[in-house]
Chain A
Amino acid sequence: MLDQPLIKVILLVGIVGVTVLLTRSTAGVRHQAVRRLLLVGFVLLAAMAILFPPLLTQVARFVGVGRGADLLLYGLTITFLGYVAASYRRMRQLEQQNTILARQLALNHAVHEARHRPKDS
């Protein structure tokens, strides 16, 4: 439990962050900017890891993980969860817009019908 404290804290914070992303309301421009910055950071890190494998291992050691490859896997897991959260948000937004559009169409038609054929009940 206490043997790899730093990495555990980092990973847990990552998971909490993803959960918050999932439950928070609408994503705006700031969100998008943050997402893109994260992506750039991720790309840089990946490049570094490829160019200087020992560096990755050093970082892993520093945060309390045995091998660099393990650290990479953890990182990927968190990133993937974040990706899932972000695309869920996006999907909900699209669904919402879709619904409003479909409802407006349906209502326009029905309201028109109601006005032009007065109820015979």
Chain B
Amino acid sequence: MSLTPPDAGSVADGTAHHEPIEDAWLVIPLFNEASVLREVITEARKTFPHVVCVDDASTDGSGVAAREVGAAVVTHPFNLGQGAALQTGIDYVLQTTDAQYVVTFDADGQHRVEDAAAMVRRAREEDVAIVFGSRFLDGRTKPGLLRRIILKGAVWITNQQTGLRLSDAHNGLRVIRRDAAQGLHLAQNRMAHATEIVLQLSRTKLPWVEHPVLIVYTDYSRAKGQSLINSVNILIDTIIK
């Protein structure tokens, strides 16, 4: 298993030289991200023309904004949580398209499109069904000490429960091939879905790899993202089903 992306060269300048990827859909869980959303989707659509946002009853017009920049939008009638939104988005792609790949992607600008594109390419070239993004395969991502400890704890628990050996578990960037996506039936509505996804994907027995990605921690993402105290809730949800 090689840990460097096959196209490490093109990562440097950040622009996509490659053809738009037509057989993959980005699934973006969306909750109150109006301030960064347009830019994130516009940028993403240059590489991934097909985007579906699952708007979880946002109150800041995120859903409308996503439509305006060309994403398909599925709107939950009330807030169900990120896990529920991912499942909805995956169901949407499976039901309305014949896309080969589902890419789970965050709306808050923390994921890089070129990482997602490299992961799809890798899935194709190495013929694997699942590519998990990992921020811990190299030293680029700087989550901060406490967050790192908590994330590593989450990885440990996930590995215990699933029997896989991952280096990062709560990473929202994943490429899931259609056959693997069909094995997903997430019941964890909120943040504890991360372990559940790994568990259900591991049960498909399909081949997987981890791919190094850079998660960008900005002031925005830190302010808006998961508070560290919420990891208590995630932990309990993960253990008590």
- A residues with a Cβ closer than 8 A to B are 22-23, 25, 88, 92, 95-96, 99, 102-103, 105-107, 109-111, 113-115, 119-121
Contacts and interface: CB of A to CB of B under 8 A. Distances in A.
B74 A22 contact: no
Nearest to B241: A23
B189 A107 contact: no
Interface stretch (B89-97, B98-106, B207-215): B89-97
B73 A110 contact: yes
Nearest to B237: A92
B109 interface: no
A106 B84 CA distance: 12
Contacts of B239: 23
B84 A99 contact: yes
Contacts, number: 57
B89 to A, nearest CB: 10
Contact of A110 (B72, B187, B241): B72
Contacts of B50: 119, 121
Contacts of B9: none
Given A96-B187, A99-B84, A99-B189, A106 B70 contact: no
Contacts of B77: 102, 105-106
Contact of A107 (B49, B80, B95): B95
7 contacts: A22-B240, A92-B241, A99-B84, A106-B76, A107-B88, A110-B73, A120-B70
B87 interface: yes
Contacts of B75: 106, 109-110
Nearest to A92: B241
Contacts of A114: 72, 96
B92 A111 contact: yes
A109 B54 CA distance: 12
> What are the 7 closest A-B residue pairs judged by CB atoms, nearest first?
A110-B74, A121-B49, A114-B96, A103-B88, A106-B74, A106-B76, A99-B84
Contacts of A120: 70
Contact of B70 (A22, A113, A121): A121
B74 A107 contact: yes
Contact of B80 (A25, A88, A102): A102
Given A23-B241, A119-B72, 7 more contacts: A23-B239, A102-B76, A105-B77, A106-B76, A107-B92, A111-B96, A120-B70
A92 B96 CA distance: 29
Contacts of B187: 96
Nearest to B186: A99
Given A96-B187, A114-B72, A103 B91 contact: yes
A25 B187 CA distance: 12
B92 A110 contact: yes
Contacts of B91: 103, 107
